[in-house]
Structure 1
Amino acid sequence: MLASTVSSKILRAIAVKEGFHFEETLTGFKWMGNRADQLINQGKSVLFAFEEAIGYMCCPFVLDKDGVSAAVIAAEMASYLATKDVTLTQQLSSIFNKYGYHISKNSYFICYDQETIKSLFEALRNYDGQNTYPKLCGKFQVTGVRDLTTGYDNNQTDNKAILPTSKSSQMITFTFANGGVATMRTSGTEPKIKYYTELCAAPGNSDLEQLKKELDDLVSAIEENFFQPEKNKLQRKTE
């Protein structure tokens, strides 16, 4: 199964427990579709792929997001669950209870100045001196950094990112000790610096209100310490 790197990590959590192969790709179904094609040509079965911005690939016949097949699969799932007197909401709760709650919060800042954007990301790459990334974000400990602009990833033994890199775009992912994950990246089509955050709770931790508060606190710390909207004159998202 596949997901883009800015999508929920729930599929990864399921893979760890159930033993199937899971991979992340860069953002966009062109990456997932091409990787699925490679895996199929290797004799593997690709069952599912999804993207944070809503899109599902549910069968190997259409290697792209496809609402028709997704609707059919969703209807089949609802019908099957109905025979067991289980609603979709109840099934989702069952998944969270078994694999851990995953809650996300995504947004963006607007910035028209390319030099400001570059300076913001360079500051993160030289946080406490040259070529040093943040170890803390407010009260939250940073345990992992992957920079797909420079190709750095301290989760790998050689510190080299596995996913393709691009110096023409900015993208850094931070992993936190509390189970939080945050990706900051520039948009290729709009004057936006986007962020995707998620709190991946351990199975058994079902205090949803506390988890939401912890994610809100993490997002506030990221905005204050990493984005610094006042200093960088960033415009917040307006509804």
Structure 2
Amino acid sequence: MLTFGTAGLRGPLGPGPDEMNVTTVARATAGLAAWLRDRCLGGGRVVVGRDARHGSAEFAEVTAEVLAAAGFVVIRLPEPLPTPVTAYAVRALDAVAGVQITASHNPPADNGYKVYVDGGAQLLAPADTEIEQRIAASTEPIPRTPVETSGGDVLSRYLARVAQLPQLLGGSGERADIRIAFTPLHGVGGATAVHALGAAGFSDIHAVAEQFAPDPDFPTTPFPNPEEPGAADLLLRLAEQVDADLAIALDPDADRCALGVPTPEGWRMLRGDETGVLLADHVLRTAPADALVATTIVSSRLLSRLAPARGARYAETLTGFKWLARAGDGLVYAYEEAIGHCVDPATVRDKDGISAAVLAADLVSQLRARGRTLIDELDELAIRFGVHLTDQVSLRLPDQRAAAEVVNALRAAPPAELAATPVDYVDMSALRGRMRTDALVFTGDGVRLVIRPSGTEPKLKCYLEAVQPVSGPSGLAAAGKAAEERLSELRDYCRTLAG
């Protein structure tokens, strides 16, 4: 059977209990309903949303009907919508749970079933295994009751909140008009993002026409993830053609946001860590004293240096927003290096590409009014805190078992040196409590490497960081070159791991 991984199910479409189909979805929903009833939440409100992937409409209908037959009040959202809208609806409507049918940025053959619990946060262990036990105990046939669509005002309420973010989070600084190049990568975020940006005052938007309408086949990019090589090529080409100030790419369910920027060498996409620290700094300039910001064990350490300099607290969690959303009291911003940003945790307790896009546009607008750019901001941070270069090496393997075997081999014989630097080694699977996970962390003077198997795909993921002090503005280029050389050595090492 498919098991609950990152907040729910995800897998290829097809027959059988190990793939996504109507029976799998019905059984999962019956298990979820039983788990909710066991917690005295029976009869509560549950939100059901979906994206535009193959099978999503049917899976959402089945989910809603099984929940209704089980006695729940079902809000079945009326159209394909971004995942953050469902997360918002769970919290805004005081629902006991929410289900979004989506496989996020997976290839076209996949679909998934993402679960939110009360408060709008992702499902957290041990609830996943508890639901799996109830799925295994569910019997055929599973009752279903027809459900009409509802919740027609949810999107407008969400958009009204997002439109306020520049004033709520960005402060009252002077703003300049900017031009934006944009793509939703064939997903469901196109119209929602354009509306949100326009309502926030950013109407000069040029979209990649070939990628704007939802298309479950993703014809221009087989791996519809802005981080994948080539996925943002059409966006960057358009940004150069229209002389944009900012390029924005969402993944297909619009919970992730990637930014592209002009540089003297041409347009490039920012890494998730670069965007993460820029948005964190923007939020912290207007945040209350002793606010909390958070990131994950695989992200850059730069936020841990920025936060105290801005009078804020810093927290670090395992990967995934099921952990980040629960980082602690006073959370005002959280990000993970995989271009996930939570800029409004009081409203959406998950990553939200739409609100991140609006806040990024606000930041660029304020910078342009002062004659500055995002690259200028990154350089200033590097001069103060050191160059922090990060990268990810993602190795595709035959299956998830192969990825686990590589990690186990490293666990048995860990390297003592990386990039000509002695490193210490922490096996996080040996830890206790919430920080226990299947990951290896190697740390030395100015180098850091985290290696873990993916929880959703047959991949081995390596997260690299090289840190180099900067003597001053004149030393920035040399420091950047030295950090890149060390990062290159880390890349070379990681590429040997797949044999």
Match of 2:429 in 1: 149
Q: Secondary structure at the match of 2:456?
A: coil
CA separation of 1:118 and 1:186: change in aligned 2, threshold 3 A = closer
> Cα distance, 1:19 vs. partner?
4.3
SS at structure 2 position matched to 1:56: strand
Aligned residue among 345, 359, 362 for 1:76 = 362
**Which moves more between the two structures, 7-16 or 48-57?**
7-16
User: Judging changes above 3 Å, is the alpha-carbon distance between structure 1 residues 2 and 62 closer, same or farther for their aligned structure 2 residues?
Assistant: same
* Aligned-pair CA distance for 1:118: 4.4
Matched, 1:85 2:371: yes
Distance across 2 between alignment mates of 1:200 and 1:171: 21
Measured at CA, do residues 110 and 68 of structure 1 come closer, stay the same or move farther in structure 2, by a change above 3 Å? closer
Q: Paired residue for 1:185? A: 452
Match of 1:28 in 2: 320
Q: Which residue of 2 aligns with 1:157?
A: none
Which of 307, 317, 339 is residue 54 of structure 1 equivalent to?
339
For the pair 1:164 / 2:432, whether they are aligned, the reply is no
- Report the equivalent of 1:11: 303
Structure with the larger RCO, 1 or 2 (CA within 8 Å, 6+ apart) = 1
SS in 2 for 1:107: strand
TM-score normalised by length of structure 2: 0.37
Q: Which runs of 4+ in 1 moved over 4 A?
A: 113-119
For 2:301 and 2:418, the matched residues in 1 are separated by 21
Gap regions ≥5 residues in structure 2 = 1-292
1:173 is the counterpart of 2:441: yes
User: C-alpha deviations, 1:200-226, integer Å up to 9, x for none?
Assistant: 2224362222321121013223444xx
- What displacement does 1:22 show? 0.8
1:25 is displaced (CA, Å) by 0.9
Secondary structure of residue in 1 paired with 2:430: coil
TM-score (ref. length: structure 1): 0.74
SS at match of 1:22: strand
Instruction: Identify the match of residue 468 of structure 2 among 180, 198, 201.
Output: 201
CA 1:91–1:113 in 2, change beyond 3 Å: closer, same or farther?
A: closer
Q: Give the whole-Å Cα distance in 2 for the aligned partners of 1:72 and 1:115.
A: 40
Change (3 A) 1:19 1:111: same
Q: Secondary structure at the match of 2:313?
A: coil
- SS of 1:27's partner is coil
Residue 421 of structure 2: aligned partner:
140
Q: C-alpha distance in 2, partners of 1:116/1:69?
A: 37
Q: Which of these two proteins has the greater Rg computed from alpha carbons?
A: 2
How far is 1:114 from its partner? 6.1
Aligned CA RMSD, in angstroms, stands at: 2.4
1:112 to 2:398 alignment: yes
* Structure 1, gaps ≥5 residues long: 128-132, 152-160, 231-239
User: Do 2:419 and 2:489's aligned partners in 1 also have CA atoms closer than 8 Å?
Assistant: no
* Contact preservation (8 Å) 1:140, 1:218: no
Change (3 A) 1:125 1:95: same
Higher deviation after alignment, 22-31 or 133-142: 133-142
SS in 2 for 1:48: strand
Deviation at 1:54, TM superposition (A): 0.6
- Aligned to 1:123, the other structure's residue is in SS state helix
Q: Note if contact 1:28-1:51 (Cα within 8 Å) is conserved in structure 2.
A: yes
What is the identity percentage for the equivalent residue pairs of Structure 1 and Structure 2? 30
Across the two proteins, how many residue pairs are aligned to each other? Answer: 201
- Whole-angstrom CA distance in 2 between matches of 1:6 and 1:119: 20
